[in-house]
Amino acid sequence: QVQLQESGPGLVKSSQMLSLTCTVSGGSITTNYYTWSWIRQPPGKGLEWMGAIAYGGSTYYSPSLKSRTSISRDTSKNQFSLQLSSVTPEDTAVYYCAATSVPAVLADTHRHYNYWGQGTQVTVSS
Protein backbone atom coordinates (compact mmCIF):
# COMPACT_ATOMS: atom_id res chain seq x y z
CA GLN A 1 0.00 0.00 0.00
CA VAL A 2 1.46 3.31 -1.10
CA GLN A 3 1.63 5.95 1.63
CA LEU A 4 2.50 9.61 1.19
CA GLN A 5 3.48 12.23 3.76
CA GLU A 6 3.87 15.95 3.14
CA SER A 7 6.39 18.07 5.04
CA GLY A 8 7.43 21.70 4.99
CA PRO A 9 6.84 25.06 6.64
CA GLY A 10 3.30 25.99 7.56
CA LEU A 11 3.86 29.73 7.20
CA VAL A 12 5.42 31.57 4.28
CA LYS A 13 5.73 35.31 3.70
CA SER A 14 4.36 36.97 0.59
CA SER A 15 6.76 37.12 -2.36
CA GLN A 16 8.83 34.25 -0.98
CA MET A 17 9.04 30.66 -2.19
CA LEU A 18 6.92 27.84 -0.84
CA SER A 19 8.74 24.52 -0.65
CA LEU A 20 7.16 21.19 0.27
CA THR A 21 8.40 17.60 0.17
CA CYS A 22 6.43 14.39 -0.16
CA THR A 23 7.97 11.23 1.27
CA VAL A 24 6.66 8.02 -0.27
CA SER A 25 6.62 4.59 1.37
CA GLY A 26 5.23 1.25 0.29
CA GLY A 27 6.22 1.87 -3.33
CA SER A 28 8.85 3.49 -5.51
CA ILE A 29 8.38 6.82 -7.29
CA THR A 30 10.06 5.19 -10.30
CA THR A 31 7.44 2.43 -10.53
CA ASN A 32 6.35 2.11 -14.14
CA TYR A 33 3.42 4.26 -15.19
CA TYR A 34 2.80 5.90 -11.81
CA THR A 35 2.22 9.64 -11.60
CA TRP A 36 3.02 11.76 -8.54
CA SER A 37 1.26 15.09 -8.09
CA TRP A 38 0.68 18.11 -5.94
CA ILE A 39 -2.92 19.20 -5.38
CA ARG A 40 -4.17 22.02 -3.19
CA GLN A 41 -7.41 23.22 -1.68
CA PRO A 42 -7.78 26.89 -0.74
CA PRO A 43 -10.24 27.68 2.06
CA GLY A 44 -13.81 27.44 0.84
CA LYS A 45 -12.78 26.27 -2.63
CA GLY A 46 -12.39 23.00 -4.51
CA LEU A 47 -9.34 20.88 -5.15
CA GLU A 48 -6.85 22.27 -7.68
CA TRP A 49 -4.32 20.06 -9.47
CA MET A 50 -1.00 21.93 -9.60
CA GLY A 51 1.38 19.63 -11.41
CA ALA A 52 2.91 16.19 -11.63
CA ILE A 53 6.10 14.25 -12.10
CA ALA A 54 5.90 10.98 -13.95
CA TYR A 55 7.72 7.75 -13.07
CA GLY A 56 10.34 8.56 -15.70
CA GLY A 57 10.92 12.08 -14.40
CA SER A 58 8.90 14.13 -16.92
CA THR A 59 6.99 17.02 -15.42
CA TYR A 60 3.57 18.48 -16.21
CA TYR A 61 2.07 21.68 -14.83
CA SER A 62 -1.26 23.42 -14.62
CA PRO A 63 -1.22 26.24 -17.19
CA SER A 64 -2.38 28.72 -14.57
CA LEU A 65 0.55 27.93 -12.27
CA LYS A 66 3.24 26.87 -14.71
CA SER A 67 5.25 30.08 -14.53
CA ARG A 68 5.63 29.78 -10.73
CA THR A 69 5.78 26.01 -10.15
CA SER A 70 8.58 23.48 -10.17
CA ILE A 71 8.32 19.80 -9.25
CA SER A 72 11.40 17.67 -8.76
CA ARG A 73 12.35 14.37 -7.20
CA ASP A 74 15.08 12.61 -5.25
CA THR A 75 14.94 8.94 -6.15
CA SER A 76 17.55 8.02 -3.53
CA LYS A 77 15.17 9.25 -0.83
CA ASN A 78 11.96 8.24 -2.63
CA GLN A 79 10.72 11.83 -2.36
CA PHE A 80 9.31 14.44 -4.68
CA SER A 81 9.08 18.14 -4.02
CA LEU A 82 7.11 21.25 -4.89
CA GLN A 83 8.42 24.77 -5.22
CA LEU A 84 5.98 27.65 -5.76
CA SER A 85 7.57 31.05 -6.22
CA SER A 86 6.32 34.57 -5.59
CA VAL A 87 3.52 33.45 -3.29
CA THR A 88 0.63 35.68 -2.25
CA PRO A 89 -2.10 35.19 0.37
CA GLU A 90 -4.19 33.62 -2.43
CA ASP A 91 -1.79 30.65 -2.29
CA THR A 92 -2.95 29.86 1.25
CA ALA A 93 -4.31 26.31 1.10
CA VAL A 94 -4.06 22.75 2.29
CA TYR A 95 -1.44 21.14 0.06
CA TYR A 96 -1.65 17.43 -0.75
CA CYS A 97 0.70 15.06 -2.51
CA ALA A 98 -1.03 12.25 -4.34
CA ALA A 99 -0.39 9.31 -6.64
CA THR A 100 -2.16 7.44 -9.42
CA SER A 101 -1.48 4.73 -11.97
CA VAL A 102 -3.03 6.93 -14.67
CA PRO A 103 -0.34 8.26 -17.06
CA ALA A 104 0.81 11.76 -16.20
CA VAL A 105 -0.28 13.22 -19.53
CA LEU A 106 -3.88 12.29 -18.59
CA ALA A 107 -3.80 12.78 -14.80
CA ASP A 108 -4.48 16.51 -14.64
CA THR A 109 -7.40 16.48 -12.24
CA HIS A 110 -7.74 15.34 -8.65
CA ARG A 111 -10.33 12.75 -9.67
CA HIS A 112 -7.64 10.42 -11.03
CA TYR A 113 -5.80 10.05 -7.74
CA ASN A 114 -6.37 7.17 -5.34
CA TYR A 115 -3.40 7.59 -2.99
CA TRP A 116 -3.23 10.78 -0.93
CA GLY A 117 -1.16 12.27 1.84
CA GLN A 118 -2.96 13.70 4.85
CA GLY A 119 -2.36 17.24 3.63
CA THR A 120 -0.46 20.13 5.15
CA GLN A 121 -1.78 23.62 5.80
CA VAL A 122 0.30 26.43 4.32
CA THR A 123 -0.57 30.00 5.17
CA VAL A 124 0.92 32.92 3.25
CA SER A 125 1.16 36.08 5.31
CA SER A 126 0.87 39.49 3.71
% residues pLDDT > 70 (the chain)? 100
Q: Return the pLDDT at 31.
A: 85
Closest CA to 98 of 46, 42, 34: 34
Q: Return the pLDDT at 7.
A: 98
Give the whole-angstrom CA distance, residue 115 versus residue 98: 5
CA distances from 38 to 5, 11, 82, 126 (A): 12, 18, 7, 23
Closest CA to 37 of 94, 104, 93: 104
pLDDT tens-digit series, residues 32-88: 889 999 999 999 999 999 999 999 999 999 999 999 999 999 999 999 999 999 999
